[in-house]
Amino acid sequence: MEETLLRELFRIPTPFGDFPVFGYGAMVLLGVLSGLWLLRAGARRKDLDPDSLSDLTVMLVLFGILGGRIWYLIQFREQVYAEGDWLETFRLWNGGLVLYGAIGGGLIGFYLMQRRREFGPWRELLDLIAPALALGIAFGRLGCFLNGCCFGQVCSPDWPLATIFPAGSPPSLAHGDGLHASPALHPTQIYSSIQGAILALLLWHAGRRLALRPGRTFALFLGLYSVGRSLVESIRGDHGVAAGEWTVSQMASILALALGAWLWFSAPDQGRHSGSSQRRNSGSQGD
């Protein structure tokens, strides 16, 4: 089986030839669209105008993709440019987004847009973004599975989720010459997708409970995602890191965890402030 059969979902006939639809790109697009849908739903839940956040969400997506691509090209530059083809920089449909780079790029875009135009309290906006980002991760990792990248280490064939990738796929090339199917591997892409879906559901419901402590929903996302990502990284088989060594993403997880801790403990208590104001108003009326 050729590698393109693993990555390509179908082709759309056009007057200029068949247009291929790649699984990775399709899932990334679904991730973006589903994330935007959840972001707008969160805005309506907070009685905000979803359309007022349109410019912000567009910039978040663009900076996220840019940041994820730049991180990937830097971290895997030797593999990407092994044949000296610089056009590979732009072949996003072949895969190549690092999630922490996308989060970092999105945060940079968020900061720049907030400076240009105040969209609202920045902590509350981050809380809106958290479940949408997690849902986008769930779909994006499905794209990694279809693309054959971000695969796991060899596991027992008896493992219920053990996955064998076809000949010509990246896992088969990593475990041989690509002429035969890969051995049974941990489907780390599926593990990460499940993590993203659970996080999206959890953060959506936690957002109501944490509403009076703005910033804590996004802090919860950073904390839980960084721990889960580190665990998945320990059984990834595509990063070329020796056993006992930390991957780049595991080191980035420490920074994400630290940022999440700061957001959590520095979150203002709006409930306490509201209660104090009510008591002051009540005292004034009594005077």
Torsion of CA 76, 108, 140, 187, to 10 degrees: 50
Nearest Cα to Cα of residue 32 among 79, 4, 65 = 65
**Cα(211)–Cα(2) distance, rounded to whole angstroms?**
50
Q: Is the pLDDT of residue 255 over 80?
A: yes
The distance from CA 214 to its chain's CA centroid, rounded to whole angstroms, is 21
Q: How confident is the model at residue 126 (pLDDT cuts 50, 70, 90)?
A: very high
pLDDT surpassing 50 at residue 13: yes
How wide is the angle at C-alpha 144 spanned by C-alphas 186 and 11, nearest 5°? Answer: 130
Among the listed ranges 3-12, 52-61, 240-249, which one has the minimum average pLDDT value? 3-12
Residue 17: the pLDDT is 77
DSSP annotation of 154 reads B
Confidence of residue 84 (pLDDT cuts 50, 70, 90): confident
Q: Which among 106, 114, 124, 109 is positioned nearest to 215, based on CA atoms?
A: 124
Give the integer Cα–Cα distance in Å for 210 and 17. Answer: 52
Given a cut of 60, is residue 269 above it in pLDDT? yes
What is the average pLDDT value for the chain, to the nearest integer?
A: 87
Q: How many CB atoms lie within 10 A of CB 173?
A: 16
76 confidence band (pLDDT: 50, 70, 90): confident
pLDDT exceeds cutoff 90 at 264 = yes
Q: What is the pLDDT of residue 49?
A: 86
**What long-range pairs does 266-270 form, CB within 8 A, spacing at least 24?**
266/215, 267/123, 267/213, 267/214, 267/215, 267/216, 267/219, 268/123, 268/213, 268/214, 268/215, 269/212, 269/213, 270/212, 270/213, 270/214
Please compute the mean of the pLDDT values over residues 49-77 and round it to a whole number.
Answer: 88
Helix axes 122-147, 188-209, angle to 10 degrees: 160
Poorest-pLDDT segment among 144-158, 164-178, 223-237, 265-279:
265-279
Residue 287, pLDDT above cutoff 60: no
More confident residue, 65 or 284: 65
pLDDT at 274: 54
Does residue 280 have a pLDDT over 60? no
Phi, psi of 170 (to 5 degrees): -55, -40
What pLDDT score was predicted for residue 36?
93
Q: Encode burial over 42-77: b for 16+ CB neighbours within 10 A, e otherwise.
A: bbeeeebebeebeebbebbbebbbbbbbbbbbebbe
**Residue range 115-141: mean pLDDT, rounded:** 93
